């Protein structure tokens, strides 16, 4: 039987606890996971590795998640990278919703998070 290649997800969130929760859920569901606690760490990792999806928090102290999304979307090598917002805050502007591939509320049931990611990745 052919071994399935794990999808690589980067979690961008300033909360170490929230990253740990999401990472545990994703790894339990056979995803490879990297973490970034700041936008700078995220950009560094995005420049070094190939990811299948970004799980992005909106509220971070050093840079708003939508600002980071704008940088990702302007990068020719990453502009089509799927981004799912993972936040307890709603997206306010409709144009922001056009830039993301999905939205999932933090602290939802693990199955809901996995379902959203799987749908975004077409799994």
pLDDT, tens only, 19-52: 999 999 999 999 999 999 998 999 999 999 999 9
The values of phi and psi at residue 18, to 5°, are -65, -40
Closest CA to 33 of 48, 52, 14: 52
Q: Is residue 109 part of a domain?
A: yes
Domain count, the chain: 1
What pLDDT is recorded for position 86? 87
| CATH number, position 99 | 3.40.50.2300
User: Chain-wide mean pLDDT for the chain?
Assistant: 86
CB distance 70 to 84 below 8 Å: no
Low-confidence ranges of the chain (pLDDT < 70): 1-4, 89-98
Bridge partners of 34, per DSSP, are 10
Q: Supply the range of the domain harboring residue 66.
A: 8-121
Q: Is residue 3 part of a domain?
A: no
Q: Is residue 68 part of a domain?
A: yes
Burial label for 107, CB within 10 Å (0-12, 13-18, 19+), is exposed
């Amino acid at each position: 039987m052919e071994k399935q290649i794990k999808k690589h997800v980067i979690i961008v969130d300033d909360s170490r606890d929230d990253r740990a929760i999401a990472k545990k859920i994703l790894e339990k569901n056979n995803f490879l996971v990297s973490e970034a606690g700041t936008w700078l760490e995220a950009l560094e990792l995005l420049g070094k590795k190939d990811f299948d999806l970004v799980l992005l928090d909106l509220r971070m102290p050093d840079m708003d998640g939508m600002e980071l999304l704008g940088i990702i979307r302007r990068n020719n090598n990453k502009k089509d990278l799927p981004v799912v917002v993972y936040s307890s805050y709603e997206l306010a502007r409709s144009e922001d919703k056009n830039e993301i591939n999905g939205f999932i509320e933090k602290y939802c049931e693990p199955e809901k998070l996995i379902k959203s990611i799987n749908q975004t990745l077409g799994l």
